[in-house]
Amino acid sequence: MAAIFQGLGAATALSPSNCFDSNKLHYSSRRSLSGRKASFFVVRSDGSVNFASNSRAHRAQQVITNAVATKADNSAASTKAGHELLLFEALREGLEEEMDRDPHVCVMGEDVGHYGGSYKVTRGLADKYGDLRVLDTPIAENSFTGMGIGAAMTGLRPIVEGMNMGFLLLAFNQISNNCGMLHYTSGGQFTIPIVIRGPGGVGRQLGAEHSQRLESYFQSIPGIQMVACSTPYNAKGLMKAAIRSENPVILFEHVLLYNLKEKIPDEEYICNLEEAEMVRPGEHVTILTYSRMRYHVMQAAKTLVNKGYDPEVIDIRSLKPFDLHTIGNSIKKTHRVLIVEECMRTGGIGASLTAAITENFHDYLDAPIVCLSSQDVPTPYAGTLEEWTVVQPAQIVTAVEKLCQ
């Protein structure tokens, strides 16, 4: 199989991951739910929600209203010329641009070929690039993830799609012992320029096994970078940057953000894999968040502003390593920190972020760090119970009020 992949193109040196033009960085912002006949919805940049008409439309509207709040009014990308894309379309556009640019880029995973992926991120790519560059695999995550790592060792740049992030637990051995460590254990003889991506997070009644947040599982693996996209703009920018990186990168996507729509620039751009995004400047408290919780935080921020508070909201985006420069500068200004995550409380991203802030910026804090996380329970199937396990905007408002007393 490695020989097949080697036939895709001659090995050439690519731009290293740190070759980014910082002047191109702009600070701003699908799978139909498998096995469910849910109505199709689009969340627009102004916060409005459009639904296809079917019997579940009212129920979907209730859930999505809580899931995605209105975007920040100061979004830079929304005021520039460009084209509107849904988040899953932005991922596909970034992937397609990199496949056009470099013949070594290839995709593999379950149903990524002519079906177009379970969330349609790879739709149309098999017709354009052929079955070898867009390879449908058996239902065997350990096998095709290991194959992707081997392909990366031979000079290709594979993107491995997990149909659901929870399924990648089957490939944990390959990701940990091979993907993260081979560059070191080979004495630098091999680089592993692979991207592992897929949907995760608490969806809309997908049940415990399909509502996994694996950030906490993968963060301890040496040699792995992790990023989480939250808008169409940074989804495309992070996808392109991850593909060009010489390091293995895990790109976390959220199942409830695939249909978020935003205008993105027509010209090419790349987001830095190690930079956080300033979503809303403020003075009173630093709120650190990522992925879907960005929208819960921005929903809460509107209430907080009406109550006289001025929160600073940062989408950390880089889950490993943390952008401690941006985070630290904010803490030195506000002296208070609230972390909001969908990850589990025990051993989650919030716990690691709390430790990093305590070690580096303890003297600048005027109050203890507060971390709002999901409860340490399997995600219930029942919609009302599922909502109770995840941080809601009202809890964020209450936490900020207590922090700023």
Q: Establish whether 277 is a catalytic residue.
A: no
Please give the C-alpha separations between residue 233 and each of 122, 143, 220, 320, in angstroms, as whole numbers: 18, 32, 28, 20
CA atoms of 94 and 149, how far apart (whole Å): 21
Which of these is catalytic: 93, 104, 183, 210? 210
Which residue has tokens 């867009």? 134
Cβ–Cβ under 8 Å, residues 379 and 342: no
DSSP-assigned letters across all residues of 347-403: TSHHHHHHHHHHHHHGGG-SS--EEEEE-SSPPPSSHHHHHHHS--HHHHHHHHHHH
8-state DSSP, 249: E
Q: How many CB atoms lie within 10 A of CB 227?
A: 29
Coil, strand or helix at 74: coil
Cβ–Cβ under 8 Å, residues 87 and 260: yes
Q: Establish whether 210 is a catalytic residue.
A: yes
Residues 6 or more apart from 267 whose CB is under 8 A from it? none
Coil, strand or helix at 135: strand
Which residue has tokens 């940074």? 234
Strands 318-320 and 225-228: antiparallel
Buried b / exposed e along 46-62 (16+ C-beta atoms within 10 A): eeeeebeeeeeeeebee
CA atoms of 340 and 287, how far apart (whole Å): 7
Give bridge partners of residue 286 from the DSSP assignment.
312, 337
The closest alpha carbon to 129, from 114, 146, 147, 151, belongs to 114
Which residues are identified as catalytic?
141, 210
